[in-house]
Amino acid sequence: MPVVDTRQSAGEKLNARPDDQRKDIHNSDVPLLCRSCEARHRGICGVFNAEELTEFARHTRRVNHASGEELIGEAAGIDSYATILRGVVKLTKTLKDGRQQVVGLQLAPDLLGRVFGEESRLTAETVTDVELCKIPRKTFESMLAADSDLEHRVLLQTLRELDEARDWMVTVGRKTAPEKVASFICFIATHFHPTAALAPGKSVSFDLPLTRADIADFLGLTIETVSRQFTRLRTDGVISIAGNRHIEVADLERLRARCG
Amino acid sequence: MPVVDTRQSAGEKLNARPDDQRKDIHNSDVPLLCRSCEARHRGICGVFNAEELTEFARHTRRVNHASGEELIGEAAGIDSYATILRGVVKLTKTLKDGRQQVVGLQLAPDLLGRVFGEESRLTAETVTDVELCKIPRKTFESMLAADSDLEHRVLLQTLRELDEARDWMVTVGRKTAPEKVASFICFIATHFHPTAALAPGKSVSFDLPLTRADIADFLGLTIETVSRQFTRLRTDGVISIAGNRHIEVADLERLRARCG
DNA sequence: CGCGGATTTGAATAGTATCAATACAGGTGG
DNA sequence: CCACCTGTATTGATACTATTCAAATCCGCG
């Protein structure tokens, strides 16, 4: 079953803080680069006022990555953190013989990088074109040590990731292949296109950010099984598929009924 | 593969803070209840100096629970947090038809309860006799808001839980039944009996805190399959079993070789 | 010692993986 | 604009792992 997205309530919690009005008044002083940035409101840097943001932006650097690039390798040293501005990143773990498991999906405005970790315990790889706002590791860590509001936001994101990971453990560990695939489509529909979830009865359509191979690695299945389940959902009239990636869900409730 | 336990380094990080010596000088002022408490050093309350601890202890209450008791129900309101002083607690999620997945195991000195969560998204159940140090929800949350060191410790625990959850996703999603069971025994040996991990070549023995049913729910298998794999490990001479629960691992490396 | 729950063992079955071949989509260059 | 080409996805036949159902055995405990 899909997670309740805590981002909304997290934002409210922070916006309720007393010093927040001041931040809004200084809106016009925010760095040019940040002014149109969505992450500034919902992401990690949302805790900063104009002054802090200027200082922060001095160290950041926007970087683009094509789909399929490895951002962080397993057991690689971490030299920077990044906020995702656009696109989707998959977090994977790989066994010695090559079997792979996707352990998380991140998108704007998530923070990328395991805080307080000496080295990465997983691989981060882009699955779409991605735009990042990078900041050097040391810089971010000292800001984190100095700013407990910033650390608070990191905690909120970490808690959300933990909730999500645990939801997926149920799906991966206890659901059947048909249920897994239905759950995956539900997950994408509700998390990547939040408006969809709010229109019960209406049809929802979107592009899957992942290949069948990625979906298989996410669900602990093979590509063939994933494909067969997509076909089954299509022939049963629960979804329609256009050009492999584009999915239209006629009725989310009917899909949910198949999630176990 | 087992996680590197971050508790040690977390403790060091905090102990390195400048105000820490002061805390030690006042050791004799710590509340009687806390003085012999292991959790005070490694757990959440390790951030407090004597004064703070006295204030903290004014709100806490020690509670005992027998094995098999439900501490928090799924979708139940949370009215208190607790530090585990002794015993093991399993965190589970259940599908509508009763299929269950264990999504985490907690033991002393872990904090029990999803911070900033309106209601629990999982069930917490004791699997051994358990002793808790409970504190009312509101009290703990206001301390959390006021004390960023406390929040820092919560963040460290959350990060550790996230790492662990992701490790298990690989095991549950991508390993075979024999590998899953071997991984589980390894996990218990290294996490619940940390000294064991430090004695390569030497035999390790311990009691499993979980029943076959719990292990099955943890690994996404059936009891029968778990049992068969235990038998196989026994007949292969990798482990020996006494009275169902007691396990002796002759050579951890041989067990590790079967973890995939 | 005997009871009840937990565990082990066995045989049959179902579900998913594997191996192999085909079809399709999307991009490239003529 | 179309034909080609490559990587991706689908489909099919078979093998195998883990589940299911059933029965026997073991363990802890009164």
pLDDT at A198: 66
Euclidean distance between CA atoms B190 and B188, whole angstroms: 6
Euclidean distance between CA atoms A86 and A17, whole angstroms: 28
Do B10-165 and B175-256 fold alike per CATH?
A: no
CA of A125 vs chain B CAs: smallest distance (Å): 16
Region at B87 (left for phi over 0; alpha for psi -120 to 50; beta for the rest)? left
Find chain B residues with C-beta within 8 A of A155's C-beta: 115, 151, 154-155, 158
Query: A125 near A70, Cβ under 8 Å?
Result: yes
Q: Answer whether B116 touches A (CB < 8 Å).
A: yes
Q: What is the pLDDT of residues B97-139, one digit of tens each?
A: 999 999 999 999 999 999 999 889 999 999 999 999 999 999 9
pLDDT at B191: 87
Show Cβ contacts of residue B77 under 8 Å, excluding neighbours closer than 6 positions. Answer: B118, B119, B120
Best of A174, A184, A214, A218 to substitute, by most chain B Cβ atoms within 10 angstroms, is A174
Find chain B residues with C-beta within 8 A of A104's C-beta: 166
- Residue whose Cα is closest to the C1' of C19: A224
Stretch (H or E) spanning B102: strand B100-107
Q: For strands A130-136 and A100-107, give the pairing.
A: unpaired
Domain boundaries, chain B: 10-165, 175-256
Provide the CA A223 to C1' D12 distance, Å, integer. Answer: 15
Show Cβ contacts of residue B106 under 8 Å, excluding neighbours closer than 6 positions. Answer: B84, B88, B89, B90, B91, B112, B124
Euclidean distance between CA atoms A223 and A221, whole angstroms: 7
Q: What is the pLDDT of residues A232-242, one digit of tens each?
A: 999 999 999 99
Provide the CA B224 to C1' D22 distance, Å, integer. Answer: 12
pLDDT at A21: 45
Q: Answer whether B75 touches A (CB < 8 Å).
A: no
Report residues of chain B scoring pLDDT below 70: 1-28, 196-201
Q: Answer whether B121 touches A (CB < 8 Å).
A: yes
pLDDT at B125: 96
pLDDT at A197: 62
Buried b (16+ CB within 10 A) or exposed e, A33-67: ebeebebbebbbbbbbbbebbeebbeebeeeebee
The two structure tokens encoding residue B162: 């996230």
Provide the CA A203 to C1' D9 distance, Å, integer. Answer: 25
Which numeric CATH code is attached to B175-256?
Answer: 1.10.10.10
Pick the CATH number of A10-165 from 2.60.120.10, 2.70.70.10, 3.40.1670.10, 3.40.640.10: 2.60.120.10
Euclidean distance between CA atoms A71 and A68, whole angstroms: 9
Whether the CB of B224 is less than 7 Å away from nucleic strand C comes out as: yes
Query: A91 near B164, Cβ under 8 Å?
Result: no
Q: Least CB-CB distance to B155: which of A155, A166, A220?
A: A155
Report residues of chain A scoring pLDDT below 50: 1-23, 25
Which residue in B145, B148, B129 sits closest to B137, CA to CA? B145
Provide the CA B243 to C1' D26 distance, Å, integer. Answer: 9
Provide the CA A4 to C1' D29 distance, Å, integer. Answer: 46
Q: Dihedral angle at the C-alpha atoms of A113, A115, A119, A125, nearest 10 degrees?
A: -10
- In strand C, which positions have an atom below 7 A from any protein CB? 6-11, 15-20, 25-26
Could you count the other beta carbons within 10 Å of the beta carbon of residue A191? Answer: 16
Which residue in A132, A174, A3, A24 sits closest to B222, CA to CA? A174
Q: Answer whether B19 touches A (CB < 8 Å).
A: no
Find chain B residues with C-beta within 8 A of A99's C-beta: 174-175, 260
pLDDT at A15: 40
- In strand D, which positions have an atom below 7 A from any protein CB? 8-13, 17-22, 27-28
pLDDT at B178: 98
Which residue in B127, B130, B144 sits closest to B56, CA to CA? B144
Cross-chain Cβ contact B95/A155 below 8 Å: no
